[in-house]
Chains A and B, each alone.
Chain A
């Protein structure tokens, strides 16, 4: 989900901009040391691949269509650092070309769609793949990587929207990841399918020992990188930190919506309505795209 401008408060959006910029700088520095010259055009072309692959959608029940996000796939193929850099460029390009996601919200989108999908997808893949590298293990690990990365990144998206007061936090946290638990199956299946195809046709590409190996320090760095925003977001959403931009930030209505009035059945109903509306939105967008096609 690409968050447009206007849905995050300035405080949440700018703090994620800073975090993503730091992540990109770190990954770029690591990349310059680690990656061979050869992989740089490869990253650019794979970025274009993700862009093009997202056009290859296919019909899912109910008129919506599904396509690959690609973060976990890239992380598995290129290693998480290069994968993250590539996904970051894809997200920037989507904002600049297609206006998918806003300019100030770019940091949030890079974080959710780039960092979270790549690092969580890669971690889950490594966890489940084991040493054997048999085909069915590969498929299972690929599926879980795709599914988890989709659900976790949507949870972060919901958290940011909730803390900005665009949607009530509880509803958001129930509905957005809930929806992605279903949609994530497609991401998982496609990741597994592509990995299976590659292992039959070009098994040499799956041999990621060369470029961008992850070391212990990098795992720690990735954990901090993913954990830190959760802390900062909670701070940014709930407290009134005194800072020079106070006047600007207070004005961006940084109060969190009151969510205590909701519970139990309310919670379920609103979650369901919420999911339905998201589905309707996708449906309308899909119909519009169908009609605008030549």
Chain B
């Protein structure tokens, strides 16, 4: 069962990893807005953003191959935009594709340089509703358990089924599987809740030793804002 693909590189120790989570959320959001506002015909600005992304990729120490693999999620959308290219002009399509790739690189860097608990802590400090943050925490903790459950069920089905059944039969099998998974999730939630109550759960999760906001964060934020500001001004 292989399911550590989710945040495999988030506990490395690069300069990007040690920044505070709020800094990274804010800085990457600014960078993405900057990428979205690059005009179609400004090659120099595209290259400066590509350069910046490459520098960040280098600093983050995340393997390049991993980032390339994650790019595949963009594929359907790139194809979708490619069809519209004849009407919009190929330059427009190229700009769209480069913009999307840049944004995806930035998002990959954000999520793979921040541990999830820290990210949640950052979201909470930004004023996200508590119920959403707690839910995300539960989701993260039980995701691996349920994924393993789902993978086991899938393996069991694939072992028992030779060849392919007609579609209606497949749908029937799959909906019973989903139903079983759902009931198990319900029951697990009930067990968890009573276990948590008996251990003194009061409706919130304490965060152990969050990172401090230091001068590194100020430098990083100032650097990214200055970069984005310069590219907008330079137009």
Contact = CB atoms under 8 A, between A and B. Distances in A.
A7 B7 contact: no
A190 B110 CA distance: 35
A6 interface: yes
A43 B138 contact: yes
Contacts of B104: 4-6, 99, 102
Nearest to A3: B77
Interface in B171-185: 171-183, 185
Given A10-B36, A49-B146, A40 B107 contact: no
Contact of B40 (A7, A45, A205, A253): A253
B218 to A, nearest CB: 22
A226 interface: no
Interface in B17-49: 28-29, 32-33, 35-40
What size tier do the contact residues of chain B reach?
Answer: 35 or more
Contacts of A257: 84, 87-88
- SS of B interface (majority): helix
A93 interface: yes
B149 to A, nearest CB: 7
Q: Name, among B84, B110, B145, the residue most crowded by chain A CB atoms within 10 Å (CB to CB).
A: B84
A255 B197 CA distance: 55
Given A5-B100, A59-B164, A90-B139, A104 B33 contact: yes
Interface string A201-213: 1100100000000
A190 B172 CA distance: 8
10 contacts: A40-B203, A41-B193, A42-B186, A42-B190, A46-B189, A56-B178, A59-B170, A97-B7, A167-B83, A248-B33
Interface of B: 2, 6-7, 28-29, 32-33, 35-40, 69-70, 72-84, 87-88, 92, 96, 99-104, 106-108, 110-111, 116, 119, 129-132, 134-143, 145-147, 149-151, 153-154, 164, 167, 170-183, 185-186, 188-190, 192-193, 196, 203, 232, 235
Interface of A: 3-7, 9-10, 13, 24-25, 28-29, 31-32, 37-38, 40-49, 51-53, 55-56, 58-61, 68, 77, 85-86, 88-90, 92-93, 95-100, 102-104, 165-168, 171, 186, 189-190, 192-194, 196-198, 201-202, 205, 247-249, 251-253, 257-259, 261-262, 270, 273-274, 277-278, 280-282, 284-285, 288, 292, 294
